[in-house]
Amino acid sequence: MDFSARRYDTGAAVRIVIDGPRISSIEPIEDHSETLPYVAPGLVDLQVNGYGGQEFNDLELTVEKVADISCALDRDGVTSYLPTSTTHSFEMLSKMLSVVGQAMEEVPEVSRRAVGIHLEGPYISPEDGPRGAHPREHCRAPDWDEFQRLQEAARGQIKIFTMSPEYEHSAAFIRKAVDSGVLISIGHTAANSEQIAAAVDAGARMSTHLGNGAHGQMRRHPNYIWDQLADDRLTACLIADGHHLPASVVKSFVRAKTPERCILVSDVTGMAGMPPGRYDSTSIGAVEVLDDGRLVVAGQRQYLAGASLPLTVGIGKMMHYADLDLASVMTMATARPLEAIHEAPVELAPQAMADLILFDLPAVPGQPIQIRQTMNQGESVYLAN
């Protein structure tokens, strides 16, 4: 396979040849056509709760359903992702983790796309606001024995664990998890400044969808958002879909953390790819997808219930909101998330894995990038009409 495109990082026109799963060669060409697409590494999403009407939190989850979700992400340019399970009972979580872990080992469509599992909860704050749409009855304090059983169910595939350090003995739990190779991310928290600092000292290195899963009203300073923004050891995951954070907040967060310490995530749920309407989520109950793509708790539209818009939306809005160039934002959605979980990022270079996307920039600033084609390990897995 070969094609011509503009590099996302330099804008230079190149001809790329793919041989098998890898890039064979990249050569500069003279092409000033405005219709030439951009080429970049495939998108990497660290927070995917489901897609197309199917949640990962589902007692009837099967490896076939995991494969369906994995392949559905091709249309959004996602070549690597973390299936994400949210706060629930041990029965629900162990079911999800065991099925996804099995799929990652046995189903090629999954193993080439899923690079680990993100467990978001259940050790999060039970307070309204910080817990978001997570069910209060399943929010609980850290339990190392339970976590080990969950990791065993996942066949060792839990790469990111989101938790709140507000509980007693949280720092000790974090040290054990980090020593076992798990990335601890602070999220859905009501922790005070001392607890945030202790968590980072113990090894926490990420913030889950910073600015969301928080109180509607809090003291202006100090608070757990400022504390996480100020700590350079924490990388901030941000949802830039136009609903979770206002433009001014996105810009301020990126300026505070610097682009080098920011990662774009979608936080899409099983309602991603679904038309507006009311749905029953196997994870959190009744939800609504509104006409503008906002996902809310049914009957309580002031509460977000995750997201329904893909990373392509976040890329366009991040460029516009934070006044960043394409290369900086694409890095937030490609190399940086892989580096966070200690996976080698894809490069536009000979012999690199051909996990690639061809796309167009939006005609109107702030609109989504448009995926033309997605390639996973050198195979074309999505081609726009």
- Average pLDDT, consecutive stretches of 10 residues, N- to C-terminus, the chain (385 residues): 97 98 97 91 99 96 98 98 98 98 98 99 98 96 99 99 99 99 99 99 99 95 98 99 98 98 98 93 90 90 90 99 98 99 97 99 97 99 97
Q: How far apart are CA 140 and CA 170, in angstroms?
A: 12
Token readout for 213 is: 């899963």
Helix (H, G, I), strand (E, B), or coil: what is residue 218?
coil
At the fourth CATH level, which superfamily is domain 41-346?
A: Metal-dependent hydrolases (3.20.20.140)
77 neighbors 114 (Cβ within 8 angstroms): no
Domain boundaries, the chain: 41-346
Name which of 179, 116, 251 is nearest 171 in CA terms: 179
* pLDDT value, residue 34: 82
| 352 burial level (CB within 10 Å; 0-12, 13-18, 19+) | middle
Rounded to two decimals, the pTM is 0.97
Q: How far apart are CA 353 and CA 228, in angstroms?
A: 34
Query: How many angstroms from the chain centroid is the CA of residue 60?
Result: 24
109 neighbors 71 (Cβ within 8 angstroms): yes
Token readout for 35 is: 């219709």
Bridging pattern class, strands 285-289 and 277-281: antiparallel
The per-residue pLDDT for range 73-128, each reduced to its tens digit, is 999 999 999 999 999 999 999 999 999 999 999 999 999 999 999 999 999 999 99
Token readout for 226 is: 């400022």
Quick one: which H or E segment has residue 255? Answer: helix 247-257
Q: How far apart are CA 99 and CA 123, in angstroms?
A: 21
- Residue listed under structure tokens 């708790």: 297
Bridging pattern class, strands 22-28 and 300-304: unpaired
* pLDDT value, residue 302: 81
